[in-house]
Amino acid sequence: MKNILWTLVLCLFGLVSYGQDKTYYSAEDLADAYEIINIKYPEGLLRDTTIGTANEFNRTFLSYAWLNENNRELIPGGVLMVVPYVDFDTLLTKKQKDELTLKFESVSEFALKQDKINAKTISKLDIKKRIDAEDRICYGVVSFPIIQEGKDGIMYGIIYEMSRICPVSDPGSNMHVYRKIKGKWEYFSIVNVSV
């Protein structure tokens, strides 16, 4: 009986913990993360849970190495350039790079709070129902943004996005990097993952 009670307590704790703000987000970082989601998705449809690095595919691309090797300037033809737009090793100290690498490795699924985002959220179940009904649905799936301080106190925000049009297309995905200048987030670079 004692074991059953303990198991129930652990399960309840797990349910309460799911979707809670992650410990590495300060209140300011959390506000910045939601601001980046709203910049990327000012409207439209967004899945109500984010993606994380538990999935092998996402772990491959949602990484510091992929960011540093594949970032490009967002200009016409920029994504077709052969060399990276910027070397992130020059924008971060060794300690900051290690912090960012750890943040990439620990990106978890996160339940988005509808009252903090502009886009309308949709659950996995509702997506499945609409696809089963052969309803054409366009929606995005994102990682919860990573917020990282760089050299000179410049803040960077990184969000991984998969866009889907169902039931007819495979997702295309990119990482988007923003930087905070004078209190405002601005687009910095794009990291192409798949088309």
Summarised one tens digit per residue, pLDDT across range 43-85 is: 999 999 998 877 666 677 888 999 999 888 877 666 566 678 8
Compute CA 83 distance to the chain's CA centroid, rounded to the nearest angstrom: 24
Determine how β-strand 120-122 pairs with β-strand 45-47.
parallel
- Is the preceding peptide bond at 145 cis, omega within 30 degrees of 0? no
Q: What is the reported pLDDT for 94?
A: 97
DSSP-assigned states of every residue in 105-155: HT----B--GGG-SSEEE-HHHHHHHHHTT--EEEEEEBPPEEEE-GGG-E
CA dihedral (41, 72, 63, 61) positive or negative: positive
pTM listed for this prediction: 0.81
Q: Can you read off the two tokens belonging to residue 59?
A: 């772990």
In this structure, which long-range contacts are made by residues 11-19, counting pairs with CB atoms below 8 Å and at least 24 apart in sequence? 18/111, 19/49, 19/110, 19/111
Q: What is the reported pLDDT for 193?
A: 83
Q: What is the reported pLDDT for 80?
A: 64
